[in-house]
Amino acid sequence: METFAALAHGMAVAVQPMNLLYALIGVFLGTAVGVLPGIGPALTVALLLPVTYKLDPGGSLIMFAGIYYGGMYGGSTTAILINTPGESASMATALEGNKMAKAGRGGPALATAAIGSFVAGTIATIGLAFLAPWLVDFAVRFGPEDYFALMCVAFITVSATFGDSPIRGLTSLFIGLTLGLIGIDKLTGQARLAFGIPELLDGVEVTTLAVGLFALGEALYVASRRHHAEEKIEPVRGSLWMTKLDWKRSWKPWLRGTMFGFPIGALPAGGAEIPTFLSYSTEKRLTKHPEEFGKGAIEGVAGPEAANNASAAGTLVPLLTLGLPTSATAAMMLAGFQQYGLNPGPLLFAERPDLVWGLIASLFIANVMLLVLNLPLVGLWVKLLAIPQPWLYAGILVFATMGTIAAKPSVVELSMLAGFGVLGFLMRRFDFPIAPVVVGLILGPIAESQLRRALAISLGDPMVLLQSPMSATLLGIALIALLAPFVLKGMNRFKASED
């Protein structure tokens, strides 16, 4: 009942005309940017952060909710129409969706993706609303050592457990942790890794890192291998609407996808990639039309898209209740909170319920807006896809650098941006995952201060980490998650079995 009251209060905040407008702008901008090829939801949020600088926290977070879901929708449109998934979570969608578009069924593919995302997003947001207060009650009892242990679990699962190579994933994480050390130590005021450069004393900006790694890195990478592949946009032919048979084949995959996406997203288990592929392989097994798989089966779009969206809402559970980002997009959302000095976690639920519940309520509203906006406007989004590649990437880079130029127009900050661009390019070229760097930068300093607080309370006795049952359990999970991929090496890996 408590949840209903809080949610009703949040709705009252969210339906204020200005907030509705913010949500609409967010949804529109999020879709428009997310639809551009090569731009995933994380970069969408990073690029649009400067737009929200001048708003009040409430309005800006509501716009964020719209940008977040809009970016997800936009990504699926790109995956279906040009087969370039902006992120690995859209890969399953691209697999069947692009085939459908090639066969002249792009309309129903887009429709089942949009409606499936709506269904999954709504169910998962309800899940978020009911799970959050319960987790908050649980989390207020966490001591600093428990938080530290929880962050260790997130570090390991995000970087090592589910990637291609635990070594390369951990390398990315440690690069992020190193970047997180730069600047003045908050507890003692000592400068670390600043090398006497005053601009470094404030530390590395998360937006500078994310825009550099994602936008500049991606542009450099695509430019470097432009001669390999030519992108082709599939025109949307025929009816946009789903037939009765399409509906019949879609609704079960939507629900099953949601069931995969939400729990896996809500656990600190790293991203939407796993639930989308689980959903894809489940639908492939259960379908009555196995001959269509690989040639454009609607179940293969409906399920993974639902899983993708449900998992996006799921990642908001640890983000809002524990302050724990488990994907690059969630890390960018955390950066959005931090620009107002807000720290998501149990305290924020107690201190600013209007903000948190307004945000959750806005997720429902953003979802409805997307459903209403997306299908009628699909013609507009297709036109955005048709921007010639040179201008598209040139424009993306102008916008990407503009955020930094507006925030800190210094030679040092812009050089860092360019440096992170080169880093992002090299990491893509040598197949290092990007998300752990961002998570390491944003979570590393928090984990360190929690550990130091725990040790200060225990008068320097490290056994405090094992004396708390919660912390000991979590550290055990982290250890298992770290060792599992090495133990399982050589066995048939999850991803290999998909091809």
Partner 1 sequence: MTDLPQGPAARRVDRAGVVIALALAALAVVLVWDSRQLPATTMYGMGPEVMPVVIAIGLGLLAIGNLIDALRGNLPERESADPTAVLLILGGLALLIAIIGLGGGFILATSALFVTTSAAFGRRAIFADSAIAIVMTTLIYLAFDRLLTLSLPTGPLERLL
End-to-end Cα spacing for the chain? 47
Binder to partner 1 among 429, 466, 480, 488 (CB under 8 A)? 429
Of the pair 173, 313, the CB lying nearest partner 1 is at: 173
Residues 225-284 binding partner 1 (CB under 8 A) are: 225-228
- For residue 489, the 8-state DSSP code is T
- For residue 83, the 8-state DSSP code is S
Q: Does residue 187 touch partner 1 according to CB under 8 A?
A: yes
Binder to partner 1 among 141, 230, 341, 459 (CB under 8 A)? 459
Q: What distance in Å separates the CA atoms of residue 321 and residue 138, rounded to the nearest whole number?
A: 10
Give the interface segment with partner 1, choosing from 28-36, 115-123, 199-207, 404-412 (CB under 8 A).
404-412
Q: Does residue 198 touch partner 1 according to CB under 8 A?
A: no
Distance of CA 357 to the CA centre of its chain: 20
CA dihedral (193, 195, 196, 197) in degrees, to 10, reads -80
Binder to partner 1 among 343, 415, 467, 473 (CB under 8 A)? 415
What ranges make up the beta strands (E) of 107-228? 183-184, 191-192
Q: Does residue 389 touch partner 1 according to CB under 8 A?
A: yes
Whole-number minimum distance, CB 113 to partner 1, in Å?
29
Which residues have a Cβ under 8 Å from the Cβ of 53 and sit 6 or more positions away? 339, 406, 407
Q: Does residue 401 touch partner 1 according to CB under 8 A?
A: yes
Q: What distance in Å separates the CA atoms of residue 169 and residue 174, rounded to the nearest whole number?
A: 9
| C-beta separation of 279 from 307 below 8 A | yes
Torsion-angle region of 122 (φ positive above 0: left; ψ -120 to 50: alpha; else: beta):
alpha
Q: Does residue 188 touch partner 1 according to CB under 8 A?
A: yes
Binder to partner 1 among 4, 53, 138, 241 (CB under 8 A)? 53
Q: What distance in Å separates the CA atoms of residue 312 and residue 305, rounded to the nearest whole number?
A: 11
Binder to partner 1 among 18, 286, 380, 394 (CB under 8 A)? 394
Q: Does residue 479 touch partner 1 according to CB under 8 A?
A: no
Which residues have a Cβ under 8 Å from the Cβ of 199 and sit 6 or more positions away? 408, 410, 412, 413
| C-beta separation of 125 from 265 below 8 A | no
Supply φ then ψ for residue 409, to 5 degrees. Answer: -80, 55
Of the pair 226, 232, the CB lying nearest partner 1 is at: 226
Of the pair 376, 430, the CB lying nearest partner 1 is at: 430
Burial class (CB in 10 A: 0-12, 13-18, 19+), 255: middle
Q: Does residue 414 touch partner 1 according to CB under 8 A?
A: yes
Give the interface segment with partner 1, choosing from 33-41, 220-228, 293-301, 311-319 (CB under 8 A).
220-228
Of the pair 267, 422, the CB lying nearest partner 1 is at: 422
CA dihedral (301, 303, 308, 310) in degrees, to 10, reads 140
Binding map of partner 1 across residues 155-184, x = CB under 8 A, - = no contact? ---------xx-xx-xx--xx-xx--x---
Exposure on the CB side of residue 217, measured as CA atoms within 13 A: 29
Whole-number minimum distance, CB 77 to partner 1, in Å?
22
Residue 400 in tokens = 């990407």
* Number of chain positions touching partner 1 (CB under 8 A): 70
For the chain, the C-alpha Rg in angstroms (whole number) is 22
Of the pair 227, 288, the CB lying nearest partner 1 is at: 227
Q: Does residue 26 touch partner 1 according to CB under 8 A?
A: no
Of the pair 127, 212, the CB lying nearest partner 1 is at: 212
Of the pair 42, 215, the CB lying nearest partner 1 is at: 215
Q: Does residue 185 touch partner 1 according to CB under 8 A?
A: yes
Whole-number minimum distance, CB 196 to partner 1, in Å?
11
Q: Does residue 467 touch partner 1 according to CB under 8 A?
A: no
DSSP for 186-225, written as a single string: TTT--EES-TT-GGGGG---HHHHHIIIIIIHHHHHHHHT
Residues that bind partner 1 (CB under 8 A): 50-51, 53-54, 164-165, 167-168, 170-171, 174-175, 177-178, 181, 185, 187-188, 190, 192-193, 195, 216, 219-220, 223-228, 389-391, 393-395, 397-399, 401-402, 405-406, 409, 411, 414-415, 417-418, 421-422, 425, 429-431, 448, 451-456, 458-460, 489-490, 493, 496
